[in-house]
């Protein structure tokens, strides 16, 4: 609990076995009430390692994509009674040590959404963000600020905290199941007038950290531009943005989606004990 609010961390995971333990070790458990990991059909031992670390685990029957994973994360967090939900990537790219600061901002009554910015303080370049991604980030963010009337340092961070009201209010099921989900969710939050704060966040770019390739980055960029134009078009008419991807299916779970330490292979348990 923090400021009498229940804090739940959600980890949207896909093939995060190599980095999950390093991420979880730095999570400040003293203020976190629950940690929920949703495994989006990983081909490695992500789910087993998560269970060995004492996390609550859900596994998708098939890979639904980054956005589809988050939809499950937020639904489970609300079901767990969260007042504030912090979304953290389990690839150890963003610093888990800032969870307390982000949660404090979200429970302060000043902010509804909190973003861990890689741009403030130069965290992106110092952490090794590829130059082309940095340039695209800056250009897209400048364009979005101009069209949406905001003054954010970046729209594209994957480290975010939301109050319960935000998640309950936004039509997240109409957003994409792909990477542009983050941008669509933020655009909807801006449209609804939710207060957005930022905190400087150092990042790490290394081999095991997840990163989309150039082609997927282009697809993402085009999706971002579409989101901007939708926002600009409909906000000028004082109408809500239309559904982005209507008719998306609900996530499918494995029958045995709740994993327990007893089901973890001996090799995994022994590795943890060492």
Q: pLDDT of 74-123, one tens digit each?
A: 999 999 999 999 999 999 999 999 999 999 999 999 999 999 999 987 76
Partnered with residue 8 across adjacent β-strands are: 34, 85
Q: Does 81 map to a domain?
A: yes
CATH number of the domain residue 129 falls in: 3.90.550.10
Q: Does 264 map to a domain?
A: no
At residue 245, does pLDDT exceed 60? no
Q: Does 2 map to a domain?
A: no
Q: Does 161 map to a domain?
A: yes
Mean pLDDT along residues 32-41: 97
Q: Does 269 map to a domain?
A: no
Threshold 0.75, pTM exceeds: yes
**13-31: pLDDT as tens digits:** 999 999 999 999 999 999 9
Q: Between vectors from CA 121 to CA 119 and to CA 123, what angle results, nearest 5°? A: 60
**Cα–Cα distance, 223 to 58 (Å, whole number):** 28
Closest CA to 48 of 255, 272, 274: 272
Of 27-36, 92-101, 227-236, minimum mean pLDDT range: 227-236
Residue numbers of the domain that contains 50: 7-255
Closest CA to 94 of 132, 65, 127, 60: 127
Question: Which pLDDT band, with edges at 50, 70 and 90, does 129 fall under?
Answer: confident
Q: Which residue has the higher pLDDT, 218 or 235?
A: 218
Q: Does 274 map to a domain?
A: no
Q: Does 184 map to a domain?
A: yes
At residue 62, does pLDDT exceed 70? yes
Question: Which pLDDT band, with edges at 50, 70 and 90, does 236 fall under?
Answer: low
Question: Which pLDDT band, with edges at 50, 70 and 90, does 254 fall under?
Answer: low
Per-range mean pLDDT, top range of 85-89, 133-137, 142-146, 269-273: 85-89
The pLDDT of residue 264 is: 38
Q: Does 266 map to a domain?
A: no
128: left (phi over 0), alpha (psi -120 to 50) or beta: left
Furthest-apart CA pair in the chain: how many Å?
61
Q: How many domains does the chain have?
A: 1
Mean pLDDT along residues 214-224: 74
């Amino acid at each position: 609990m923090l400021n009498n609010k229940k804090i739940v961390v959600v980890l949207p995971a896909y093939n995060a076995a190599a980095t999950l333990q390093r991420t979880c070790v730095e999570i400040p458990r003293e203020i976190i009430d629950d940690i929920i990991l949703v495994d989006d059909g990983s081909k490695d031992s992500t789910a087993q390692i998560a269970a060995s670390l004492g996390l609550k685990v859900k596994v998708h029957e098939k890979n639904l994509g980054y956005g589809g994973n988050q939809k499950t994360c937020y639904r489970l967090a609300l079901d767990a009674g969260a007042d504030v939900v912090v979304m953290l990537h389990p690839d150890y790219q963003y610093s888990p040590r800032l969870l307390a600061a982000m949660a404090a901002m979200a429970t302060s009554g000043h902010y509804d959404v909190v973003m861990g910015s890689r741009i403030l303080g130069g965290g992106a370049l110092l952490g090794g963000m590829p130059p082309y991604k940095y340039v695209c980030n800056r250009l897209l963010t400048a364009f979005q600020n101009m069209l949406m009337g905001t003054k954010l340092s970046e729209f594209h961070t994957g480290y975010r905290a939301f109050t319960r009201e935000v998640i309950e209010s936004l039509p997240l099921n109409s957003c994409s199941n792909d990477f542009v989900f983050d941008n669509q969710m933020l655009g909807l939050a801006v449209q609804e007038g939710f207060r957005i704060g930022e905190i400087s966040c150092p990042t790490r770019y290394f081999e095991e950290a997840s990163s989309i390739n150039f082609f997927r980055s282009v697809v993402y960029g085009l999706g971002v531009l579409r989101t901007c134009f939708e926002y600009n078009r409909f906000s000028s008419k004082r109408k809500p943005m239309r559904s982005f991807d209507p008719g998306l299916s609900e996530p499918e779970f494995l029958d045995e989606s709740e994993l327990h330490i007893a089901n973890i292979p001996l090799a995994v348990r022994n590795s943890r004990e060492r």
